[in-house]
Structure 1
Amino acid sequence: MTEHHMFIVYLIFAVILRYSECYSIEKYSLLMPNVRPNTPEIYLCTPIKVDSSKNYYIVAFEPNATMATAHHMLLYGCSKPGSSKPVWNCGEMANDMTTDTEDTASPCSEGSEIIYAWARDAPKLVLPDGVGFKVGGDSSIQYLVLQVHYAHIDHFKDGSTDDSGVFLHYTLRPLNKLAGVLLLGTGGNIPPKSTEYMETSCAIEEKKTIYPFAYRVHTHTLGRVVSGYLVKQNSEWIELGKRDPMKPQMFYPIHINVTATLGDVVAARCTMHNDRETWTYVGSTNNDEMCNFYLMYYVESKEPLHKKYCFTSGPPKYYWHKTDLLNIPDREASTL
């Protein structure tokens, strides 16, 4: 083989190697660094800095957790993390659960968005082909912050530690279908011995077409049904998803393939049944409640929505019927 031919072979090999590197799927472990929670209902966060010299595209999430240890996990994308510590208390009620000597802060100090959520032994989530969460590089997500809620600490009284977290599957191959999550939720309270609707809705205010492909529901113990809808401008309600929140809280495929555009409304309802003798309020502990509907979507050749959260005050101040929404599917939204 001549020197010229050897150079050609080497060049082809180098191109193939570079191509395979860009198109292969790699795995990164984002886990709690063997923490030992010492307070019930504590939320702990740990961050990673994403390489800002490259764009990474997360295409799958593989949980490393069990509901016996972790109540739930959230993965935040941040412009800046809430703390420079390797681990910090990041619960909504952190000030009530810790002493003044502990470092308490939110998961993100700037640019907060949720890109993944897990609870109740949900399995691995694989995004549709060609869809990924863009992080690092020129994206707005420069840090990933793992948050784990430890409702109980009995497992750790013998000195055991925890490495709950998620394995991130990613590629360097540029993707033009960029994923995003819109989190719908409410505040509010639930009277004793009652069934209450916790509802939220927001209009899409950006000139973008979004393609919903997955949804996830979340409540604590009082939730019976959580439903999410796309309300078109002709007041047609299209069911995006509906689940019993006591089942594994994974991301499920959207019920109907549909697109949402400027002026459409996304709406969600949690039907809550309170058989307690006392009022129940929205909060971060297992004795409180939450009403969340996560809508995962992608956009083509554009950045995801700037709007990341859609929250209302909830009952007794906010209900669908107190807004301009028409043709409300009252029965369908609360029955499986």
Structure 2
Amino acid sequence: MFSLMFVVTFVMFLPSISLGEYSEFPMRMPMFKPQRNEGYLCTAVNIGPSKGYWIKGFRPVVIPGTMHHMQIVGCSKPPPVTPGNVWNCGNDGNPVLEPDIPAINRSCSVGDEKHMTLFLWSNQGEAITLPPDVGFAVGGKALLQHLVLQVHYINIDKLPIQGDKSGIDLLITDKEPSKTAGMLSMHVMTNVPAFSKTYQEGGCMISERKELHPFSYLVHTHRLGQMVNLWKVQRATNGQDSWSMIGNKSPQQPQSFYPFSDGLKLVRNDRLALRCTMLNMMNKNVKQGLASYDEMCDMYMMYWVYGNSSNLLEGSNYCTSQGPPDVTLDSLGFNNIPV
């Protein structure tokens, strides 16, 4: 049984670094020992407006075989304040609730519409260092003032008896770069019938007058995902779509952030199309869900913009499609769709 020895509100994010030099800040679980598999647990740090920082890289620190994924989320409003600085953060309490800690059921606070995923680790993924002169802005005058670590546990028996301190170490600087990083993610609500090979498809359009420079992407499914394809789609004046494949990876390979080709750019009215190929040889349907035995079809795209964080996408930084059988690339209005 986990016993609360002290109360923590937020850990202050005040690393000791020299101007212009990098430092590593450990964003870790606070020696917590979960009691149930498939739980989503979160912990937070407050950065605050007194000083700005830029995240230049992410280094996962994991105990192999214990977790399905970890995620760093930036929040614009203060995250929940909980005893021990740990809370249940799966949507609506799914897949399971860890006993004896609060069930907030989200990473950021209710009403925080400006949160952003900054990094995701899963399936033996590796560390990433951002390109030169690019960083995620946090604290100071940036919109994101708080950071949350989310961990999805799947095998708690391998965790140390004294508690877990896995997490993601952040490479940070207080020297402002000339380019600011952002994240755009795409999600399809999966529906995979028994004994089937299916396409889970979705899309979104860049609707703001912004110039985005994507530099890295990660694809994420669970066991049934065979391949994930990502296209940039542009419509000519005659109404015909031109397709350029900009990413394709098997999610059964390490789910790291992989580089895009140099020179990729997205502007207003460019569209993105996502397809996850799923193979289900089981005698049961598999649907969208947070547990490792459910399925997902996700793509996370890191991009940079010139200048500060005010030049990032101002609206939603993610798009979600309802998936098959009702939603396909054809039903979303695409044409000349690749087979």
TM-score, reference length from structure 2: 0.87
Q: 1:163 aligns with which of 133, 147, 165?
A: 165
Residue 327 of structure 1: how far off its partner (Å)? 1.8
Please say if 1:309 is aligned against 2:325. Answer: no
SS at match of 2:67: coil
Contact 2:125 2:255 in 1 (8 A): yes
Structure 2 stretches of 5 or more lacking a match?
Answer: 1-16
Contact 2:79 2:146 in 1 (8 A): no
Check 1:160–1:87 CA distance in 2 against 1; reply closer, same or farther (3 A cut): same
Residue 159 of structure 1: how far off its partner (Å)? 2.6
Residue 256 of structure 1: how far off its partner (Å)? 5.3
Q: Which residue of 2 aligns with 1:261?
A: 267
Contact 2:202 2:275 in 1 (8 A): yes
Check 1:165–1:100 CA distance in 2 against 1; reply closer, same or farther (3 A cut): closer
Residue 93 of structure 1: how far off its partner (Å)? 5.1
Q: 1:142 aligns with which of 140, 145, 160?
A: 145
Q: Which moved more, 1:286-295 or 1:233-242?
A: 233-242
Q: Distance in 2 between matches of 1:23 and 1:100?
A: 44
Structure 2 counterparts to residues 180-191 of structure 1, below 5 A: 180-191=182-193
Residue 113 of structure 1: how far off its partner (Å)? 1.2
Q: Which residue of 1 aligns with 2:130?
A: 127
Q: 1:252 aligns with which of 258, 281, 289?
A: 258
Check 1:247–1:134 CA distance in 2 against 1; reply closer, same or farther (3 A cut): same
Structure 2 counterparts to residues 1-336 of structure 1, below 5 A: 21-85=18-82, 86-92=85-91, 94=93, 97-98=96-97, 102-105=101-104, 106-109=106-109, 110=112, 111-156=114-159, 159-234=161-236, 235-255=241-261, 257-301=263-307, 302-306=310-314, 307-330=316-339
Check 1:207–1:179 CA distance in 2 against 1; reply closer, same or farther (3 A cut): same
Q: Distance in 2 between matches of 1:101 and 1:21?
A: 41
Q: Distance in 2 between matches of 1:81 and 1:188?
A: 32
Superposed CA deviations along residues 2-61 of structure 1, whole A, max 9, x for unmatched, are: xxxxxxxxxxxxxxxxxx932111111110011111111001100000131112110111
Q: Which residue of 2 aligns with 1:11?
A: none
Q: Which residue of 1 aligns with 2:8?
A: none
Contact 1:30 1:167 in 2 (8 A): yes
Structure 1 stretches of 5 or more lacking a match?
Answer: 1-19, 331-336
Residue 95 of structure 1: how far off its partner (Å)? 5.3
Superposed CA deviations along residues 160-189 of structure 1, whole A, max 9, x for unmatched, are: 421111111111111121111111011131
Contact 1:118 1:250 in 2 (8 A): yes
Larger radius of gyration: 1
Superposed CA deviations along residues 131-174 of structure 1, whole A, max 9, x for unmatched, are: 10000011110100000000122224x73421111111111111
Q: Distance in 1 between matches of 2:98 and 2:72?
A: 26
Q: Distance in 2 between matches of 1:246 and 1:95?
A: 24
Aligned-partner residue type, residue 204 of structure 2: C
Check 1:142–1:56 CA distance in 2 against 1; reply closer, same or farther (3 A cut): same
Q: Distance in 1 between matches of 2:249 and 2:49?
A: 38
Residue 118 of structure 1: how far off its partner (Å)? 0.5
Aligned-partner residue type, residue 299 of structure 1: V
Aligned-partner residue type, residue 89 of structure 1: N
Aligned-partner residue type, residue 187 of structure 1: M
Aligned-partner residue type, residue 75 of structure 2: C
Q: Distance in 2 between matches of 1:256 and 1:228?
A: 16
Residue 99 of structure 1: how far off its partner (Å)? 7.5
Check 1:95–1:326 CA distance in 2 against 1; reply closer, same or farther (3 A cut): closer
Q: Which residue of 2 aligns with 1:4?
A: none
The structure that is helix-richer by fraction is: 1
Aligned-partner residue type, residue 168 of structure 2: V
SS at match of 1:21: coil
Residue 237 of structure 1: how far off its partner (Å)? 1.5
Aligned-partner residue type, residue 124 of structure 2: D
SS at match of 1:250: coil
Check 1:241–1:35 CA distance in 2 against 1; reply closer, same or farther (3 A cut): same
Contact 2:25 2:170 in 1 (8 A): yes
SS at match of 1:154: helix
